[in-house]
């Protein structure tokens, strides 16, 4: 996540002591024997081949005493029959071109002439209130591909696409001056007059025209993925979970939520109070096990919360890792705190130099931190807990240090981590979820199990973002998930638009709660209740026995 950093800034900083981000010491079980500081030592031992933290049963029993008894009732009648895709009513030969200079222009958009453009002119979209509003007459309701022919002075300029006033996705202009295609595919358009607007994100992009054609981006084959994990040695519980995910893909979306304290969190209690339901996928962060966090006093409890969620609640765990820079590379100065050193503006890491061999010290420190995290993941492996593992997320955005590099350096770090965790640490409990947010950063099908995207779409925006789903699905023959989101999508639109995200993972504060209560600034209580009670979403009580799923 880039914005909304209150999660990290709420770490208490007093008398030189930094406590676990957003932890509530009074509600954590005491008596835990495995500290984050010990994890660093264990990481060094694990690197030498010693099994990590083999016996945590006593601590888990204390956690269970606080959280409650094991869930014993499971769904045994889940309908797994195919849920038909929405048919495409668009005529196969449909084609419509609308010149940008013929669109309604707002703000400071300017028309400029020039040779080589389809109408001998183009329109520059700047910033602020600039808008280019195309009007398209659509004969038949159906799925359409939108191609905004454009150019810019450099590559990677992203701008939003609004359909009839609602944010529907974004396009990227990968141009260095030449005209290129910037596409948003698989967009459902109702018949009639539709307004298709370009709204600045980066801005400063020149648009020649909009070309609309019938779409064939998502088909039944999209939801037919190989039912084999990338790690052939995955353990039985992990295989069972993955089989379940494959079985429901295209039929249901799993409800998901980031909640730092699992069942003790405000997100858990407030969602249950509002909707009468509990989310199925718990999102957690491994950041407090990083060496920098440990050195500054963090005492992570993520492993305990994850264990409880799977073992006692019968749910599914998703991990991300806001990886703070090793201390030698964190700026750690006024305005650049160490606890924000996962952001590139607070870090001195040059990942290109690290991964091409120019900075051996940096490489060694990153490998040691991978060892630290592997120790913690091994604790869950030893207790039979599978994890959807999402490291190095949102790389293409460039705001994290692992994305402030060439894509090849990122991919090399990904495959190195995959190799260490899979082969050196024998982590047989991981389902690897890639979240690079750009096809160019995809490391390959052989080290990825799920492809995901993060979408922060604004306030009370419930569209399905089917164009983004189609883009993610095109990266590889994998499950596609919405790993982070700001607003909960309308399940009716998710199913209608054939954008059947495997699960969603709504970020915590401020997107779900504010001051401990549901925050309707992003998702209304009515939409939240609808989403959690929809017949095509699955909540915690609707999950089968994942340990024994076959």
Nearest to 95 by CA among 135, 161, 160, 139: 139
Q: Are 512 and 274 in contact (CB under 8 A)?
A: no
Which residues make Cβ contacts (< 8 Å) with residue 15, sequence separation at least 6? none
Answer whether 442's CB lies under 8 Å from 448's CB: yes
* Catalytic residue list contains 394: yes
Q: Distance (Å, rounded) from C-alpha 281 to C-alpha 105?
A: 44
Contact between residue 138 and residue 188 where contact means Cβ atoms under 8 Å apart = no
Q: Give the span between the Cα atoms of 117 and 208, in whole angstroms.
A: 6
Q: Which residues neighbour 160 within 8 Å (Cβ) at sequence distance 6 or greater? A: 167, 169, 170, 198, 199, 200, 201
> Does the annotation count 408 as an active-site position?
no
Q: Which of 236, 394, 408, 521 is catalytic?
A: 394
Q: Which residue has the tokens 């300017």?
A: 110
HEC assignment per residue over 261-289: CHHHCHHHHHHHHHHCCCCCEEEEECHHH
CA atoms of 260 and 9, how far apart (whole Å): 14
* Angle 113-116-122 from CA coordinates, rounded to 5°: 40
Give the span between the Cα atoms of 154 and 467, in whole angstroms. Answer: 23
**Matching residue, tokens 């849920």:** 83
User: Among candidates 315, 308, 252, which has minimal Cα distance to 281?
Assistant: 315
Q: Annotated catalytic residue: which of 358, 484, 520, 521?
A: 484
Q: What is residue 333's DSSP assignment?
A: B
β-pair partners for 303: none
**Coil, strand, or helix at residue 317?**
strand
**In terms of residues, how long is the chain?**
550
Q: Indicate the SS3 state at residue 454.
A: strand
Element (H, E) at 136: strand 131-138
The catalytic site residues sit at 394, 484
């Amino acid at each position: 996540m880039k914005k909304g950093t209150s999660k990290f800034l709420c770490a208490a900083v007093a008398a030189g002591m930094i406590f676990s981000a957003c932890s509530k010491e009074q509600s954590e079980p005491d008596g835990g024997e495995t500290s984050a500081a010990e994890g660093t030592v264990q990481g060094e031992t694990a690197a030498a081949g010693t099994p990590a933290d083999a016996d945590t049963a006593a601590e888990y029993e204390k956690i269970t005493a606080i959280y409650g008894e094991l869930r014993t009732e499971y769904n045994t009648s889940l309908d797994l029959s195919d849920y038909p895709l929405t048919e495409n009513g668009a005529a196969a030969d449909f084609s419509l071109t609308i010149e940008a200079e013929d669109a309604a222009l707002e703000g400071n958009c300017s028309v400029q002439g020039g040779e080589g453009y389809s109408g001998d002119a183009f329109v520059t979209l700047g910033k602020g209130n600039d808008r280019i509003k195309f009007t398209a007459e659509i004969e038949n309701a159906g799925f359409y591909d939108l191609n905004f022919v454009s150019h810019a002075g450099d590559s990677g300029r992203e701008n939003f696409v609004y359909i009839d006033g609602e944010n529907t996705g974004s396009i990227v202009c990968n141009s260095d001056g030449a005209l290129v295609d910037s596409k948003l595919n698989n967009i459902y358009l109702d018949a009639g007059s539709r307004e298709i607007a370009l709204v600045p994100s980066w801005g400063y992009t020149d648009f020649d025209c909009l070309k609309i054609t019938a779409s064939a981006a998502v088909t039944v084959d999209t939801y037919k993925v190989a039912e084999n994990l990338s790690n052939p040695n995955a353990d039985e519980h992990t295989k069972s979970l993955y089989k379940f995910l494959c079985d429901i893909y295209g039929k249901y979306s799993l409800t998901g939520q980031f909640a730092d304290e699992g069942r003790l969190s405000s997100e858990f209690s407030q969602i249950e109070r509002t909707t009468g339901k509990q989310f199925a996928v718990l999102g957690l962060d491994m950041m407090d096990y990083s060496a920098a966090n440990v050195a500054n006093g963090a005492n992570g409890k993520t492993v305990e919360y994850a264990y409880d969620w799977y073992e006692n609640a019968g749910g599914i765990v998703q991990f991300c890792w806001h990886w703070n820079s090793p201390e030698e590379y964190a700026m750690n100065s006024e305005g650049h705190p160490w606890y924000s050193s996962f952001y590139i503006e607070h870090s001195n890491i040059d990942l290109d130099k690290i991964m091409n061999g120019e900075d051996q010290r940096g490489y060694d420190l990153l490998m040691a931190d991978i060892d630290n995290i592997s120790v913690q993941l091994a604790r869950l492996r030893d207790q039979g807990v599978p994890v959807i593992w999402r490291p190095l997320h949102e790389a293409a955005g460039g705001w994290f240090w692992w994305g402030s590099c060439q894509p090849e350096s990122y991919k090399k770090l990904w495959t190195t981590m995959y190799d260490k965790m899979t082969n050196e640490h024998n982590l047989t409990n991981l389902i690897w979820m890639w979240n690079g947010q750009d096809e160019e950063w995809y490391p390959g099908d052989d080290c990825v199990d799920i492809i995901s995207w993060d979408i922060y779409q604004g306030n009370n925006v419930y569209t399905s973002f089917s164009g983004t789903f189609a883009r993610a699905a095109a990266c590889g023959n994998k499950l596609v998930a919405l790993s982070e989101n700001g607003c909960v999508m309308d399940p009716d639109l998710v199913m209608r638009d054939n954008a059947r995200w495997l699960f969603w993972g709504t970020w915590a504060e401020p997107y779900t709660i504010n001051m401990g209560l549901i925050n309707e600034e992003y998702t209304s209580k009515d939409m939240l209740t609808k989403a959690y009670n929809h017949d095509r979403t699955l909540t915690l009580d609707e999950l089968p026995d994942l340990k024994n799923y076959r």
